[in-house]
Structure 1
Amino acid sequence: MKEQVQGRTCLKHLPLAGVAVACTLAIVSEAHAQSSVTLYGIIDEGVNYTSNVQTSPGNGHNLFNLSSGILSGSRWGLRGVEDVGGGMKAVFVLESGFDVNNGRMGQGSLEFGRQAYVGLATNFGTITLGRQYDPVVDYVHALMPSAMFSGSIGAHPADVDNLNNANRVNNAIKYRTVTLNGWSAEGLYSFGGVPGSVGANQIWSMGVGYSSGPLNIGAGYLNARNPNASFFGTAVGATAASNNFGSSPVINGYASAQTEQIIGAGATYAIGRATLGAIYSNTKFKNLSGTASILNPAGASGTATFNSAELDFQYQLTPALSVGAAYSYTKNSGAHDASYHQGALAANYAVSKRTDFYLISVLQHASGTDSTGHAARASLNGLTPSSSNQQAAVRFAVRHKF
């Protein structure tokens, strides 16, 4: 004779202890089939050389230092899924960034600064709530050379279009469709949280992507009200009165903008061992205050517009060794007229499925007038700005995934 326990079979003729063990294992097996929690992470650590690092106005020196999380942000996270029946699954992600060199939390010292959300997945799509990536990042970031081989230092200056995922979105509801014939789409809305004003500090975004065989395409749009607070101001200690745009002179003079708008699109196409790629973005900082302040040191008014275009090429020399090259051009117009030419070369060697070594070199040249109203200085993303209009960086690092 047999009896059913949690949908599993236990044999009655077994000794009592044997029945208990068999039934316990059956219950655990059933629960495991229905739900799981995965611990994962990446550790990215290496040595950087950076030229012309400004130490005081007009003075620059070469810098050698250890640096964490350039090709991939160092992180650890928990990802869970539970089958709740009726074709529905509960899902969650908690993901924390960190600096290997000092153990400090990343993303402005937030405990789960990379992602923190919970949601429900169905046959009609997935809806999630919390701190999340926006649809522009979800669909275009993966097509960026900075995500594939050139790292954050190879992103567009100051990550002006957020295509390197510098900023996440708080208080967000996101819906993603199921994939149909290679197509999928997303929509996101972030509540501003301002009493009496639904629209203040709100963020909304949408994106679409297509993937089939050798072709991958992604595009998206984001609109952030009062970006100094809603989009950039999520770090611990950030306030509405402080300039939360960071130290890069490429954009930190535009923190008074009432609205930031980003349009981004990209594509990659594989031909044998080679992969060709292209990226375009348009970023606008609208309705600058026109009054000189800590948020607007040059007293800029109107709209500052950045157009960025990038071409890249990758080649898989061997199953373990790949190389890549990229060139990008970013032009600021409207409030100022800075231009940034940037080139990157990279190589990656995988010693196993989880561990690889990489070498990245990036060179940037700037001209015109930047957001601070001064002669444009080179400013590789995430590094201390140059004392001149040129800056170069070279990085050798190891990356381990778990």
Structure 2
Amino acid sequence: MKWFVPLALMIPSACALAQSSIEIYGITDAGINYLSDAQTRKVGGKPTGVARWAFYDGSVGGQQGSRLGVRGSEDLGGGYKALVRLENGFSLQNGAAGQGGAIFGREAWTGIQAPYGQITLGRQYSAIVQFDAPNLAAQQWAGYMSAHPGDLDDASKTWRINNSLKYTSPVIARWQFGGVIGREGSSSVPGSDTVWSVGADFQDENFRFGAGFLDADKPNTSFFGSNVNSAGASANNMGSTGSLTSPESNPVFGGYASARTLRILALAASYSHDRATVALAYSRTSFAGLGSDAGPNPFRYTGTASFDDVELSGLFQMTSRFDVGTEVNYLRGGSVEGKSDARYTTASIGAMYFLSKSTDIYSLLVGEKATGTDSLNQPSVAAITGMTPSSSSFQLAVRIGMKHTF
């Protein structure tokens, strides 16, 4: 036992060598929204609406949702670090927690960073968010109103993957790759309620390319139903058809809750030169196996509903404090049982004035035109992301806001 005493004395010394850091950070985003046509209810099976002015947190059409987070790391030596991140989303309107009321609904994970990569476990974003989305206008400057309709291709951080294991590689010759796999529910069937995603990106001084893929089994519960207040397969966690007293939600793809599988492929590239950045993105989203027991199917859909989305955007630094951005997005939805395709054309323009490195005031203008038949088996209504859908085929949204980061 002579070796025990000196070894025990070494343990506090080794712990003292570890370097720990804890950082509290956050974002507040507040503004006033104008919506030209917002549904209020359905009368005779058809939606009705009114124009609306209202104060909203950034999670409703702003650049970024308000949040408060804690991130920490501890140097374990030998190129290893222990990591943790807990991030809460909240509303500046009333202080309520976001993401269905979860304390740390945006992110909650812990893990290890090593010379061969980073491994984390918890509630995390997909590889599409990590590698593809940074090239898109919504993540760069335009916020949720300019996200692809309904955020159907998972590029604007609307959903997370619970109970997940994630790996991110080190940067190798300017490339980085990674993947995440998670599971919702307690089914004993292999692969049931599983969500997995992989991706990669390349970056140099001026050019960035990102790609991501996501596969979700029974997405109504495993992916879209990942918030704490979500219901099971008997309910639609992807949207609603509205009623005599409430508006519809997510008419773009909310009618496809019975899909057995969701698959998303997303590609995006951006190029920066001097004071300008231009970007091009494409995604294909498929809801396959419609008519399964994964969720409600009031319209008795079968087969597959697929969407193709193309985005072109630009960001221009007019002065050291003033930026202007513009975006055009086109989404085409494939037919289900021979019904007409749905098409959504969205145009956005934004202006940002930076009062400091941490604070900016901004304005966003977004217009959307819809045609064809949407997932709720009706003439397509415009549905700017994050907004109450229109009662008609056109919708215009305006926001003036202020964002502060700390």
Considering the TM-score relative to the shorter chain, is it more than 0.5?
Answer: yes
From 267, 285, 288, the counterpart of 1:286: 288
Residue 26 (structure 2) aligns with = 41
Residue deviations 1:3-29 (CA, integer Å, cap 9, x gap): xxx99xxxxxxxxxxxxxxxxxx999x
Root-mean-square deviation (CA, aligned residues, Å) is 1.9
TM-score (norm 1): 0.90
Residue deviations 1:190-212 (CA, integer Å, cap 9, x gap): 13443421210001110000110
Instruction: For residue 138 of structure 1, give the secondary structure of its aligned residue in structure 2.
Output: helix
| Unpaired runs of at least 5, structure 1 | 1-5, 8-25
Change (3 A) 1:249 1:40: same
1:213 & 1:228 partners in 2: Cα distance? 40
Alignment of 1:87-166 (within 5 A): 87-166=79-158
Shift of 1:352: 0.5
Residue 256 (structure 1) aligns with = 258
Residue deviations 1:272-331 (CA, integer Å, cap 9, x gap): 11111011100000100079x972232211000010000001110011100000000000
Residue 194 (structure 2) aligns with = 202
Residue 56 (structure 2) aligns with = 67
- Asked if the contact 1:364/1:378 (under 8 Å) is kept, the reply is yes
Shift of 1:138: 0.3
- Asked if the contact 1:227/1:257 (under 8 Å) is kept, the reply is yes
Residue 268 (structure 2) aligns with = 266
Shift of 1:222: 0.3
Alignment of 1:167-178 (within 5 A): 167-178=159-170
- Asked if the contact 1:191/1:198 (under 8 Å) is kept, the reply is no
- Asked if the contact 1:256/1:289 (under 8 Å) is kept, the reply is yes
1:193 & 1:342 partners in 2: Cα distance? 36
2:206 & 2:158 partners in 1: Cα distance? 28
Shift of 1:348: 0.5
Residue deviations 1:219-244 (CA, integer Å, cap 9, x gap): 01000000010001122332211110
1:132 & 1:236 partners in 2: Cα distance? 14
Residue 12 (structure 1) aligns with = none
- Asked if the contact 1:140/1:265 (under 8 Å) is kept, the reply is yes
Deviates more, 1:186-195 or 1:83-92: 186-195
In percent, how many aligned pairs have the same letter?
39
From 55, 63, 68, the counterpart of 2:40: 55
- Asked if the contact 1:277/1:312 (under 8 Å) is kept, the reply is yes
Instruction: For residue 197 of structure 1, give the secondary structure of its aligned residue in structure 2.
Output: coil
- Asked if the contact 1:177/1:184 (under 8 Å) is kept, the reply is yes
Residue 306 (structure 1) aligns with = 307
2:154 & 2:290 partners in 1: Cα distance? 19
Alignment of 1:178-193 (within 5 A): 178-193=170-185
1:130 & 1:328 partners in 2: Cα distance? 33
Shift of 1:379: 0.4
Change (3 A) 1:55 1:193: closer
Instruction: For residue 334 of structure 2, give the secondary structure of its aligned residue in structure 1.
Output: strand
- Asked if the contact 1:290/1:302 (under 8 Å) is kept, the reply is no
Residue deviations 1:48-103 (CA, integer Å, cap 9, x gap): 00011112334221100011122111101000000112221000100010010011
Instruction: For residue 396 of structure 1, give the secondary structure of its aligned residue in structure 2.
Output: strand
From 378, 391, 394, the counterpart of 2:398: 394
2:316 & 2:160 partners in 1: Cα distance? 31
Match status 1:352 vs 2:344: no
Deviates more, 1:345-354 or 1:67-76: 67-76
1:361 & 1:298 partners in 2: Cα distance? 34
2:187 & 2:31 partners in 1: Cα distance? 46
- Asked if the contact 1:275/1:315 (under 8 Å) is kept, the reply is yes
1:297 & 1:307 partners in 2: Cα distance? 24
TM-score (norm 2): 0.89
2:147 & 2:351 partners in 1: Cα distance? 16
Whichever residue aligns with residue 259 of structure 1, its letter is: T
- Asked if the contact 1:192/1:198 (under 8 Å) is kept, the reply is no
- Asked if the contact 1:192/1:199 (under 8 Å) is kept, the reply is no
1:42 & 1:195 partners in 2: Cα distance? 38
- Asked if the contact 1:302/1:334 (under 8 Å) is kept, the reply is no
| Unpaired runs of at least 5, structure 2 | 1-8, 240-248
2:199 & 2:330 partners in 1: Cα distance? 24
2:184 & 2:105 partners in 1: Cα distance? 18
Instruction: For residue 138 of structure 2, give the secondary structure of its aligned residue in structure 1.
Output: helix
- Asked if the contact 1:92/1:118 (under 8 Å) is kept, the reply is yes
1:133 & 1:235 partners in 2: Cα distance? 13
Residue deviations 1:94-141 (CA, integer Å, cap 9, x gap): 001001001111111111111000000001100000000111110111
1:309 & 1:272 partners in 2: Cα distance? 25
